[in-house]
A and B are shown apart, each in its own frame.
Chain A
Amino acid sequence: QVQLQESGPGLVKPSQTLSLICTVSGGSISSDSYYWSWIRQPAGKGLEWIGRIYTSGSTNYNPSLKSRVTISVDTSKNQFSLKLSSVTAADTAVYYCASTTMVRGVITKSFDYWGQGTLVNVSS
């Protein structure tokens, strides 16, 4: 079973770049059986998908965040990462990494496994 763990600074200053890492265990990040995503949730609010990456390196991003987001994979460390530039207070949220599974070549189109989440505050 895949396990995911987010890590990164809990405090980022406005206008700077938020950087988070998701470490994957119980599965290979290079496997063609998974998509890897970032999702966030402001306090007391709903879930917002940020973007995803496939083993091939292909990415898809939320159109509302696309200009500020980069998701990449480090196969040597079995990790994938999120960079969100030019942050403001509106980017304060719990950030989750999550996986989507391919079953018999068909993507489930759901997030099967989630990390525990990491709170990022944007404040000076």
Chain B
Amino acid sequence: SYELTQPPSVSVSPGQTASITCSGDTLGDKYACWYQQKPGQSPVLVIYQDIKRPSGIPERFSGSNSGNTATLTISGTQAMDEADYYCQAWDSSSVVFGGGTKLTVL
């Protein structure tokens, strides 16, 4: 079965750039998307179709996807960005999530 691998945790200082990776076999051939989840809340879509931002998502969130790796980049990270982040892809007729990355802003 298809798998997506994320680092368990990433730390970043306020105002700096955070990068969260998601690895999977030929992931670049699929659409990747990213969700932000804060404690006790439902996930929120922040990037879809590799690079697109839904309405209402700040411009500091961006995405890329090539080869075996998709990357979520948060520029000028703010304290409010501290959350769990999940990547997700569709593999044939199934859907796969990465294990999640806890982003700490300190």
- The residues of A with any CB-CB pair to B shorter than 8 Å are 37, 46-49, 52, 60, 62-64, 96, 108-112, 114-117
Contacts and interface: CB of A to CB of B under 8 A. Distances in A.
Contacts of B90: 109
A63 B100 CA distance: 21
Contact of A114 (B1, B43, B96): B43
Query: Which of A52, A63, A109, A112 neighbours the largest number of chain B CB atoms within 10 Å of its CB?
Result: A109
Contacts, number: 58
Contacts of A48: 97
B contact patch SS: strand
B101 to A, nearest CB: 10
Interface of B: 1, 30-31, 33, 35, 42-45, 48-49, 54, 86, 88-90, 93-100
A66 to B, nearest CB: 10
Contacts of B96: 49
Contact of B49 (A46, A49, A110, A114): A110
A116 B31 contact: no
A47 B97 CA distance: 6
B90 to A, nearest CB: 4
